[in-house]
Amino acid sequence: MGLMIKMILAAFWLLVVPAAAGAPFFQKKEIYSVRNCFLTGYAFLFAVMEVLTLLMIWLGLPLHILTVCYGSLGIIMVWWGMWCLLKKDAIDAYMGRLKKGKIRLSIPMILALALILLQMYVVVRYAHMDADDSFYVGTAVTDIHTDTIFSISPYTGYAYTKIPSRYILSPFPVFLAVVSQLCGELHPAIMAHTVFPPVFLLTGYAVLWGYGKKWFQDNEKSRWIFMLLSAVVIWFSGYSVYSSGNFQMVRIWQGKALLTGVFLPFLFFLCMEFLVDKKGEYPWISLFLTELACCLLSSMGIILAPVLTGIFLLISLYKQRDLRRLLYGVICCLPPVALGCIYFFIQ
């Protein structure tokens, strides 16, 4: 299969499928937007991957079964999402809102878009080779060639004698392996270093646009200034190898980088929407899915996601005095708390 066809498949699985998968969660066409669906769709897909992977590791099933299940679900979500959008005329309503908004070119807008596009080019053209690839990419390659899921050590090529407790509950390398197979068996190293970075960098800026829209509701120019400043801060985050911006620019294909650069900020945004503000654009299920998605990305996500939400729950209880919100928030925290308990048992 030619490289061009594989890249088209990559665009389908990493852009089209998430955007369509998030559409069914937005019942009101008035709040539909591509960004909302895209972010919620990724939260849903990552949450599904976490559940499917852990289930199949426990059952000892091969990788190709997981690939078929995830791929089938992705196709179903595309059809369901498109059906929901066409049924509710959400796309027409969205295009009408865009026309009313009358997007106007401005210097901050042009500079922000230019810098973001430049960053997307840089992360592809000057791919960084990281020492952690020996495990993350190595695990994906090993799982593909052995048709197993977290059974063979990428370091030795032998079966694990002890459960890799640090990684097994956050199997993001398995997501890399599955998507690589769905994209015409594109090599995981190419997928990780060339395809994932621009997609996930764009996802991070989609989250930041939500902050700009929230803080500068009636001032589009201020939103673009915010995006420009955000892009500049990320660009000059190389003062430390541990900064969030450096993770985004250097190794966004790793689960821990995707957690710090994209999904923890997204979780923070959702917590403000649901637990502090009175009204938000996202449905409650988005918070639940994002909590579970954080668990897929890194073992730190299992810890940080419920801690972050718990802090907002206390703020919400003090500010809103709403027990229903408290109950919903506690339910959303159950998946990472349950996985955290399992983590301590398998140590």
Question: What are the domain boundaries of the chain?
Answer: 3-345
Give the contacts of 274 (CB within 8 A, at least 6 positions apart): 280, 282, 284, 287, 325, 328, 329
Dihedrals φ, ψ of 173, to 5°?
A: -60, -25
Of 103 and 185, the structure prediction assigns the larger pLDDT to 185
pLDDT at 217 over 90: no
CA distance 7 to 11: 6
Q: What is the arithmetic mean of pLDDT over 54-76?
A: 94
- Mean of per-residue pLDDT scores for the chain: 87
Of the chain, the percentage scoring pLDDT greater than 90 comes to 54
Q: With cut-offs at 50, 70 and 90, classify the pLDDT of residue 112.
A: very high
Res. 312: pLDDT tops 70: yes
Rounded CA-CA distance 176/15 in Å is 15
pLDDT average, residue stretch 324-329? 85
Among 291, 252, 255, CA closest to 271: 291
Q: What is the DSSP string of 23-82?
A: GGG---GGG--HHHHHHHHHHHHHHHHHHHHHHHHHHT--HHHHHHHHHHHHHHHHHHHH
- Residue 280: per-residue pLDDT: 66
Mean per-residue pLDDT, 36-65:
94
- Specify the range with the lowest mean pLDDT, choosing from 20-24, 160-164, 293-297: 160-164
Confidence of residue 134 (pLDDT cuts 50, 70, 90): confident
The residue count for the chain: 347
Q: How far apart are CA 106 and CA 116, in angstroms?
A: 16
Q: What is the pLDDT of residues 159-170, one digit of tens each?
A: 888 888 888 899
Q: What pLDDT score was predicted for residue 51?
A: 96
**How far, in Å, CA of 114 to CA of 120, rounded?**
10
Q: What is the pLDDT of residue 249?
A: 87
